[in-house]
Structure 1
C-alpha cells in the first residue's frame, strides 16, 4: 500500500513509511507551514529540492545565500511562518552566516540549513580539505540552536527541536548542518506528528494579569499605546487597531513598529514630534505591545520617556518572560503571544463602559500635522534633488496599499520623516540596520504575498549595491517590485562624518552608475530621473509596467553634510541618551 509519503508497511497500529532524506525533510517542513525554500540549485540539496517541487513548495534561487536569508526574513514578516534558507557545501554555508547575525538581532526565526562534506571528512584531521570549513562553532555563537544530521534516524528530532527553539521565547534563527550524502539515502519513518504534539503553540497571558491590566487601563487618566515590531511579526495589525479604537488614545510606534497603525490614522502621532512628546509626558499609563523598548526608542525610559516617568505605570505585552524589565522597569507584564494577548485585552475591556475620547488627542494630531507640513515646506531647495523631497514626491505615486521596505543609512532617515506610511506592512532591520537587506526582504515579501500586492523598496545606492544581482531574481519570479533609488553616489551618513571630521571624503563616494540601465539589462523596467517634477510620473510608470523596476533618482550628494535630515537630533539620540553607554 502506498501513501503520498512513500511505501506504507504498517507494523501493528504504527505505520512505517519508506522515505528518502529529502522526502521526509519536506514532509516535516510542510507540517510547520513552510511554503518556500530560499536556495540555489545544488547537488548537495538535490533530493530536498526534488521533493519540495513535488509537494508544491516554492523554490527561490537567490544570487547570494545571505540574500536568501533576507528573503526568508521578509517572508516571515508577511506571514508569521518561519521559512527555510539553504547553503551548499562550504562557501554556501559560510555565506549564510552574516545574514544569520541579522536574523538574530531582528528576532526573526529562520531555519538555516547547510550541506557539509560527509562525516569522515568532517571528523578527520587534514589540511586543505576541498569545500570544507569548521563552521558549526560560528553558527553556535549566532543561532539559538545548532545540530548536525549525519544519519536519518535523528532527522525528525533535530527538525522538531529546531522549530521548538526558533519559535520559543524571543524568536531567532537556528542552523542544521547535514551530510550531503544523505541525498542518496532512504529509511523507515513512523507517522508525522503535528506541531502541537512536540512543541508548545503560542500561548495567551494568564487571565489574572489581563484583569489587572484592564483595571489599570480603566482607571487611567491618559493612556498612550505603543506598537513594536512584533505587531508585524504576529500579524496582529487588525487587533492592534481595534484596541486603539477601544482605548481612543494616542498611538506611537517604534522604528520597527512603523506601520503597526497607518500614519494617516487620526490616533497616530510621531514619537519624535512635539505632539508625540507631549502625549508621553501627559500619560499616566503606557501600554507597549510587541517591543523590547530598543535603543532607538530610548529604552522606553530616556529622553522623552523620562518626562513624568515616575508617575507613569507601564504595561507590556511580551511573549518572552526573560525579556520583561530588561530595558526599563514595568508594572504589569502580559506574557503571551502578542496577537492572542491583544484579543484578550479587547475582550476584557469591551464588556465595560466605553472609554471617553482622549481630551487632547485631536489637538495633538492637528499640531503634528502642522509640524509635518512646516517640515515639508521647509525642506531645502537645491539645484539637484534633495532626498527629503524625493521621498515626499514618491509618496504621491506609490500605491497606498503597497508593502514598504527600506534600506539605507540616511535614506532611512529621510523616508522616516518625509514618506508617510499608509499601509500596515513595513520592513526594515530596525535593530541591526544592516545595509544590503532591502532587496532580499522585498523579494521575500513578494513571494509571501504571491505577487498580489505592490512592493516598494526605498533604497540608497550604497545599500542596493550589496546584492544588486538579486534584482534578476525579482525579474525571474515576476514580482511587482519597484525600487525607488536615492542615488547620491555616496554612503551619505559616512560622507557627512568625513566632511565634518576630515574635510574631505575617503572612499565613501562612488562613480556614476546607471542603475536604471542595469534594471533593463536584467529584463526589468528602468527609468532615470534628475528633475523633481519627473518623479511622480516615473514612479507611476514603473508600477504600471508590470515588471520589477528601478526608478533611479539622482540626488544631491552635498545634502548629507550641508543640510541635515529632518529630526536628525532625535534620530541620532541613541548616541548620547544612555548614561551607561560609551557613546559608540
Structure 2
C-alpha cells in the first residue's frame, strides 16, 4: 500500500504564542492537534483523548505530564505515552520550525466519500429547499457538513440564527410568502424543542416547512441521556410527516417524501438524524432524487353540483361581496378580475390584508377586530358572501346570517364552524374559471364602486379626527401608521407582530402593492423580526422588507438584529415602544380584572441596534416622525426606528 504524502500546515506564526510548559489546540487541515511546548521542544499529538475524546489541547502540563481536561488521565507531552506502560497512548505528528513559525505534518486527506447526509442534503436542494435557518451544534455536525458542501456549490443558503425559535418563524414566513418550504435546523433536545412554536405557526397557517433536527445516538434514545428527547414522539402532533432517519432507510426517497408532504399538504415535515447515521457512508449506487414527475398539478375542479348551486346564488345576487383570506394569496389577481366583473367590493381577513390594495376602486379593507368599518359595512349590506381561502375565525367575524359560498382546496375548512349555503371544494383559480364561464352575461349585480369610495371618504375623515389626538406620554399609533402610509415603499414585504401594534396596523395602514405576513391563527408574539428574515431570504434585494413590532414582541427575539447585520439583511424595523403589554392590559380591563404584571422595562432599542452594527434612531415627538422615517427608509443596511408611543392612543 502506497505511503500517503505528508502535507505541512503552519499552526503558529510565532513561537511566543505558546510559552514553555503550555498546550493549545490547533488545526492542520481538518485534523485537530494538541500542540505542546515542553522542555524547550514543540510537539504535536492527536487532540482526542483515546478514552472519551476529551480535547487535550485544553488540558495542562502538571508534574511533567499532559493531563486530559475531562477525566485527568496523563500522557507524556512529547511522546503521548501514558505512565505505567499502558497501551492507550496518543498518536504523534511530525513538527518542523522555520524561523519563528511552527509547522505540523499530517498525511494527505482522502477525497471526501459521499455520506447519507450528502444524499439527503442534495435531494432536499433538488426539491427546491434552498434556504435553511438554524444553529449548528454537536449533534447535527454531519448533516451541517453536507449542507456546507451544497452552499459551496452555490445551491443552498444557510443562515445561522441566535435562537432556534427564530429559525422556525423565519422558515414559516418564507413558506407563507412563497408557498414553498424552507428549512429550520437544530441540534437534539433543547435546540429542537425551541423550534416547536414556529413549527405550529406554519402548521396552522398552512405554510410548508421542513424541520431538520440532530439526534443523540439511537441506542440511548429513551434512556435519559444528555440532551435526549424522542423527537419523533415530541413532534407527532405538529408534523404531518415525521420520521427518524435510519442507516437502512431509503434516504433519497425519505427526503423526497418529506418535502413532497410539506408542499402538497401545506404542512410541516420533520426528519431527525441520529448522530451515528449522519456521517455514515452512503450505500453503493445510492443516488439522489429530483421532483421530476413526482408532483401532481393542484388545479382540481370542484364538483359540478357545487358549481351549479353557486351560479344559481350569484345569478340572483344584486349586492355580492367577496372575502379573501390568506389561502387565496396565490390567486388574488384572478379573484380581483372576477370582482371587477361583478362590480363587487373585496374585503379581506387580517391575514389576507393587502391581497387587494386599499386604493383599488373595489378594495374594502380588512374585516373584523383589526379591520375597518368599511369592510364590516359591506358585509352587512350584501346579499351573498363569496369567500375564498378563509376559515371563519372569531377574529375575522364573517357573519353566518348571510348566504355564503365558500371556496377552499381543503375540504375540512369548508363549513368548519357552521353550515354554509354552498361549500365548494376545489382549487380557487380553476373554480373561478368555471364561475366566469357559467355566468357569462347572466349577471344582474349593481355597480358598488361609488359606494366603496363613499365609505372610504367617511373612514378617512374619521382617521383625520383621531390623528388630532395627542399625548405627552408618546406618539399615537395612528400617527405612526399615517406616516407609514406616506413613506413605506409600495412594493414592500411587511411582517407584523402580535399585540396593539397589530390591531392599529390592520386598522390604519392603507395597503398598496405590499405583501403582509403575520402569525395568524397561532397569534404568536415575537413573529415580526424573525419573519422578516424569512421574507428577505425569499425576495433578497428585489423588494424592501419592513418589520413592525411592539416592544413586548421585539424582546422575544431581540438578538436576531445581529443576524440581520451578519447577513446584511436590509430589513427596516419599526418598533412601537409603550413600555407595556398594552393588549393584555386592555384584556384585563375588559374582563374586569386588575391590570397586573404588564408593565415592561425596555432597553433603548435604537442604541441596542447601533451596538449590534445596525442603524438606529429613537423618536418621541410626532413632529419628528416624518424626518426620522424618511431617514430609516434611506438606509442601505438593517435599520431600527424606535417610536415612543402612548399605550392609550391605539
Deviations 1:450-500 (A, max 9, x none): 121111111100000000111111122222311111000111112334567
Shift of 1:214: 4.3
| Aligned pair partner of 1:451 in 528, 533, 541 | 541
> More relative contact order in 1 or in 2 (CA 8 Å, sep 6+)?
1
Which deviates further from its counterpart, 281-290 or 414-423? 281-290
Shift of 1:168: 4.1
Contact 1:392/1:419, CA 8 A, preserved across alignment: yes
| Aligned pair partner of 1:77 in 170, 176, 182 | 176
The equivalent residue for 1:158 is: 254
Shift of 1:40: 2.1
Q: Which has the larger radius of gyration?
A: 2
| Aligned pair partner of 1:521 in 611, 615, 634 | 611
Instruction: Give unmatched runs, 5+ long, in structure 2.
Output: 1-112
- The alpha-carbon distance between structure 1 residues 48 and 339, as it changes in their structure 2 partners (threshold 3 A), is farther
Pairwise mapping of residues 245-260 of structure 1 onto structure 2 (< 5 A)? 245-260=340-355
Pairwise mapping of residues 199-278 of structure 1 onto structure 2 (< 5 A)? 199-206=295-302, 208=304, 209-210=306-307, 213-214=310-311, 216-232=313-329, 235-270=330-365, 271-272=367-368, 273-278=372-377
The equivalent residue for 1:13 is: none
| Aligned pair partner of 2:276 in 181, 187, 198 | 181
Q: SS where residue 455 of structure 2 aligns? A: helix
Deviations 1:476-525 (A, max 9, x none): 22223111110001111123345677886533212242101111111111
- 1:382 aligned to 2:382? no
| Aligned pair partner of 1:20 in 115, 125, 130 | 115
Shift of 1:143: 2.0
Shift of 1:442: 0.9
Deviations 1:133-189 (A, max 9, x none): 2233221122222111122533233323323433445x3212111112333122235
Deviations 1:204-247 (A, max 9, x none): 22373446544543442221111000122xx3232232222222
Contact 1:237/1:424, CA 8 A, preserved across alignment: no
- Distance in 2 (CA, whole Å) between partners of 1:447 and 1:347 is 39
- The alpha-carbon distance between structure 1 residues 265 and 150, as it changes in their structure 2 partners (threshold 3 A), is same
Pairwise mapping of residues 127-526 of structure 1 onto structure 2 (< 5 A)? 127=224, 129-151=225-247, 153-169=249-265, 171-185=266-280, 186-189=282-285, 193-195=289-291, 197-206=293-302, 208=304, 209-210=306-307, 213-214=310-311, 216-232=313-329, 235-270=330-365, 271-272=367-368, 273-298=372-397, 300-301=398-399, 305-306=400-401, 309=402, 312=403, 314-343=404-433, 345-346=435-436, 352-353=440-441, 358-379=446-467, 380-383=469-472, 384-498=474-588, 505-526=595-616
Contact 1:261/1:424, CA 8 A, preserved across alignment: no
- Distance in 2 (CA, whole Å) between partners of 1:323 and 1:163 is 23
Cα RMSD (Å): 2.5
Shift of 1:201: 3.7
- Distance in 2 (CA, whole Å) between partners of 1:482 and 1:132 is 39
Instruction: Give unmatched runs, 5+ long, in structure 1.
Output: 1-17, 566-584
TM-score (norm 2): 0.76
- 1:61 aligned to 2:61? no
| Aligned pair partner of 2:188 in 62, 80, 89 | 89
- The alpha-carbon distance between structure 1 residues 322 and 510, as it changes in their structure 2 partners (threshold 3 A), is closer
Residues matched between the structures, number: 526
TM-score (norm 1): 0.84
Higher strand share: 2
